[in-house]
Structure 1
Amino acid sequence: MADVARLAGVSAQTVSRVSNGYAGVNDATRRAVLDAMKELDYRPNSAARALKRGEFRTIGVITFSLATTGNVRTLEAIATAAAREGYAVTLLPVALPTQDEVRGAFSRLEELAVDAVIVIMEVHLLDAVTLTLPPHVQVVVVDSDAGDHYTVVDTDQAGGTRAAVRHLLDLGHETVWHLGGPEDSFAAQRRADAWRAALAEAGRVTPPLVRGDWSAESGYRAGLELARASGCGAVFAANDQMALGLLRALHERGLRVPEDVSVIGFDDIPEASSFLPPLTTVHQDFAEVGRLCVDAALRKVRQEEPERGTTLVPTRLVLRASTARPGRRDAE
């Protein structure tokens, strides 16, 4: 910095102001400093500046899986929103959602120097075996039933599910079967609970729940089971990937979609409109989830503490060709 100041004919303080983007430096002086920086190949030491300010402009992200569409798209949205605010993202995948793994992940992120941590949990923080997060770290949680203990951002799982079930019942189906996600997933459980509640509110029989693991292959296996089930004329799949496997199984068993069986998914992945037939599904706004997570994290960093509790991002039902009235060939 002293070399730059000498070459530009200014004080070191002026160089500091220019390198940090502060106002109050006239254009001619700013150009002289920037030219000197370029000539000397000078770059401000971001690590030193971070230590001085106590701000690293980095957000840590802990996630337990990168195998699911929801987690990957949420991570992408967080990275995009953080970059828009001038922050980098440090990702730390964790093998298992155990207390030791979580504690180790937070310790590692503290070593890497982050300002806040966003945790993509997809687990039940309020279960009997409770995962606790370090109280001294600025934390935002995604996709969990953390209640009022943490700041949580989540998709409106229940609202999206109710819309899907109501759509199928309004078409005239007697009931709706459910291809659910894994039992240890918070999102899967919330969707399954909402499915049961929607059928109960409508006074309909609740069929047995069939589970998959979010993958298309598990949807295919479950689809073979559903194809044999008596009276299965409408299925709500907990995600689009399992719905894809379900469509294949129904086709192989000679059942037409939507003429014989209506199918709805959840997520609205980019490929959903290219399924055969194009999939009716519940759209999740991952970009808004990511934006709200980063906004809440930065408010904590700036000591503008957001309220604890859950912020729900609305969903919307996207109608395509995989649902129809029972016995009709024309899709709704």
Structure 2
Amino acid sequence: MNALIALIRARNIEFIRDRSALSWSLLFPVLLIIALAVVFDGQDAPLYRVGVVGAPHSAEVLSEFRHLQLIPYESDAGYLAVGRHRVDLLLTPAGYAINPDNRQGYMIEQLLLTRLPRLNKENIDGVAVSHVEWFLPGIIGMNMMFSALFGIGYGLVRYRRTGVLKRLQVTPLSSHTYLLAQLLSRLLAIVASTSVVFGVLAILFGVKPQGSLGSLLLLTILSCSALVSLALLIASRTRSDELANGLLNLLSWPMMLLSGIWFSLDGSASWLQAIAQILPLTHFNDASRAIITDGATLWQIAPQLGYLGLITLVALALASRWFRWQ
């Protein structure tokens, strides 16, 4: 019993002396609750979603009604959104566009015509995105994120703490070569496992990507590279498992909440969307959904690919510069 008490006391003293881990264990729950409150509290979920192209007078008319959300769109994106049932109706300078199969769109149309009975109508055909098609890219991205961040981050910190990196330091191996090897090794493993998981789920649920599988593969490679590079950057100097866990959670939780894994941020506050656009997983989810459901071409997802490539280069360069063996 004395030995048990002594071990418990020693471990508690060790934890308290690790100021970074202690601070994180106290701050993280508070920060998480604050983040959840900011994202979800004080927002009445709208019953209807209406897209708006330009600034038509009809938007001013519908803005008078409660429980109805107006979402600005570029012309092509707006027609695509109404065709895929992402919005219930689309207001345009020429009138309005509606998918005849959207039941909620019918209700908004009747409400609109009571105020503006002479608006021009345009029917847009399209099939609603299924729940599987919506969730599949997000779930795949989330699995890739955890494999990249925690798989590589914990391993590197453990190697440093146990002296493995110290022994490698006396070899001709340079830091950037070592980090590049870590990146490529994890990249091969994650891309291979992600491809298998996606293939099985696509066959199981009958998901047929509308775009190129080659584009989807390239997107996966660049997304995985960006996430692994960020993990290498976080673990480049860290010795504490607890601190590494906190920093990795600090990076992963915003992506869990704001990257479009579970819900779309269309129509949310502009500052919230700005934060989401910083996160690499947002770009993977947006681009992969565009490829799978809308048949987006490589040129159309080029901005996302460029951003992910930039993150990879910058994070890997900083990790190589700040890396320490001990």
Q: TM-score, normalising length from structure 2?
A: 0.27
**Structure showing greater relative contact order (alpha-carbon pairs closer than 8 Å, 6 or more residues apart):** 2
- Of Structure 1 and Structure 2, the greater helix share is in 2
- Of Structure 1 and Structure 2, the greater strand share is in 1
Q: TM-score, normalising length from structure 1?
A: 0.26
The structure number with the bigger radius of gyration is 1
